[in-house]
Structure formats: structure tokens, C-alpha cells
Amino acid sequence: MDVLQAGVGEFSVTDPDELRAFMRTEKRREMVDKVMPEAEAVRRYVKDGDYVSFDFSSFTRGPASLVREIIRQRRTQLWFAAKFTLMETTLLAAGGCLRGVDVGFLGLGRLISKFVEEGRIKVTEWTNGTLTLRHLAGAMGVPFLPTRSLLATDTLTYSGAKVVQDPFTGKPIALVPAVNPDVGLIHVHQCDIYGNARCFGPGVSPLETAMASKRTIISTEEIITTDDIRKAPSKTTIPYYMVDAVVNAPFGCLPGGTQGIYEMDTGHFLEFMDASRDEQKMAAYLEKYVYSVASHEEFLEKRVGMARLLALKRQAVIKEGYQ
């Protein structure tokens, strides 16, 4: 196919056959206990220079505790898939963790824009939809998928997409390359010790992110028995053999919420937004919520408190469909 237009954005490509070989040899099919502390999960599976993706959003079912642990361990040179992101890119950038970002939505606050403008972080532009489509391609094991959504946009110019002539209709069609993250981070409602995970309510691409990623870390609101998983197998979103680590992390989305369990902490987000305008304020924010606490459990105990946790649980009044 003749290439009619090509974006100038930086992106990486994984050979589908090499990925298939990795999945065949490195992913364990036996059912083994994968529960470990978040510090160990990040230490084992998130390396400097990795491509990291996640699901879903800072506001709802995002893997916030895992993101804080990555910053706490001072990972560097990461490339981050910012699909439907809000806080994560700003926090990771301020923590010195990022080399670049695939942009669906860049993030919240003046600081992240400042980092890009000053050339401290590279960006490749996509959209939330096409970045998700790239994960679908990675999950399917194909090198690319077609879309019309980038055509005739400046986003395409600064993306890694290519426009070709559709061999069936003769019309232009955009092709977006598959992405296969080194690590996928996914927070779920329930999971067993082997990695069979359940997400209830809205999501973006939890299954596709797990399928596309070489390694997947699950953080979960609660660990349930495998007998419970087997009683309702249709509730399983992600099967165990796609998962490398399970982290028990109640309230792991804070300051975001988890549908049906607790609501997002609006007051915390306002504090974050104030900090996201200034590097000194952001440094103080990271010291308070990341560096000065050793773990997610200590974050909950020392920076949130039982009274606030119970208040956020009471605000989650809609339970139907989330259990």
C-alpha cells in the first residue's frame, strides 16, 4: 500500500511474532499465588525505560497507589500511555519518571504543559480513542488497525499514524500501530490470588490493556476466593494467565473513586490542582503524599484517616451493578 501521509511522532513497534513467543515462554499458565506487596510488584516488573500503560482514569478506578509506588521507587525514562489520564502524567513528570508520553489527554495542571514546552518530556499525539485502538491491536496480535478518526486533523501530523489508500474502497484510511506496553497497571474491584480479576461498571480497556502488555500488575479492592470466581465466571474481566502480580490495595484509587465502593476525594483533587501550577508546590505535594510515607497503607493511615475513608464510602450510594 502506498503511504499518502505519515505522522512525525515518535513511537515504538513490537514484532507480533516476537511478542507471541514472549507470551508463550514467559507467561505462566499454572495457577500460582501472585499476591505480593506493591513495592515488590513495582520492583520486579517496572524497569527504567519501560513503556507503561494503565486503565481507567484518575477520577474512577485508576491505579493510583501503583503510580505513587513507581514515583516512590524513582523509576526514570518511562514512556507513558496517557489515555483518559488526569493526574498521572503530572505526578510522574514532577517525580522525574518520564521521558515521553503518548497523548490521548495530556493531563491536569499547568506543570505538565510547562514540562512539554521546555522539552523536558517528549509527546506523541493521539486521541483517547486511537490510543485505545492501539491497545486493541496489541491485544489482537496484529501490527496495526485502521481508523477514520484521525483523518484531516493536525493530531495525525504529530502522531505516529500513517494514511494509506484503502485497497477495498480506494479512499484514504489511517493506520495506527499496535502498542504492547512493557507493563500494564489495572485496578479492579475484586481478584483472587491467582489473578482472576473483576471490574464492575464503566471502563476503557482493562482486558485489552492486560492482553497487550508483556507484564500486568493488578491492584484490587479485595481478594476473594477462587470458589467465588468459579460461581460466577461471567463476571471475570481479566483471566489469571494474563496477570503477573496481585496487590491487595483497598482504597487504591484514592484520591479517585471506585464505583460502588467509595467516591473520589474532591478536596484532595483541589489540593492537587493548586499544587499542579507550581514546581515548588508540587514538590511539597509529592513529599507529603508519596516520599514521606513508605506504602499505600501508611498513606491511608497518615494522610487520609479513617474518618475520611468512611465518609467517602458513605458517598458511594449507588451499589446496583457494582457487586
In a domain, 127, yes or no: yes
Contact 253, 60 (CB under 8 A): yes
Is residue 139 in a domain? yes
**What stretches in the chain show pLDDT beneath 70?**
323
How far, in Å, are 172, 217, 260 from residue 247 at the CA level? 45, 8, 20
Check residue 12 and give its pLDDT: 86
Residue 31 lies in a domain: yes
d(CA 237, CA 208): 10
Q: Which residue range(s) make up the domain with 198? A: 3-256
Question: Rounded to the nearest 5°, which phi and psi values hold at 96?
Answer: 75, 20
pLDDT, position 323:
66
Q: Is 215 among the domain residues?
A: yes
Answer yes or no: is 205 within a domain.
yes
Answer yes or no: is 247 within a domain. yes
Closest CA to 247 of 62, 28, 37, 31: 37
Within-domain flag for 314: no
Distance of CA 196 to the CA centre of its chain: 18
pLDDT digits (tens, 9 = 90+) for 178-211: 999 999 999 999 999 999 999 998 889 999 999 9
Of 11, 28, 16, 64, the residue nearest 185 (C-alpha): 64
The three grid cell numbers given for residue 120, joined into one nine-digit string: 523536558
CA–CA gap between residue 221 and residue 65 (Å, rounded): 11
Residue 159 pLDDT: 97
Count of domains observed in the chain: 1
Q: 252-296, pLDDT tens digit by residue? A: 999 999 999 999 999 999 999 999 999 999 999 999 999 999 999
- Of the CA atoms within 13 Å of residue 261, those in its CB half-sphere come to 23
Are the C-beta atoms of residues 263 and 316 closer than 8 Å to each other?
yes
**Does residue 238 lie in a domain region?**
yes
Q: What is the CATH number of the domain that holds 22?
A: 3.40.1080.10
**Distance (Å) of CA 286 to CA 96, 275, 277, 290, 303:** 11, 9, 14, 5, 12
Torsion angles phi and psi, residue 246, rounded to 5: -120, 125
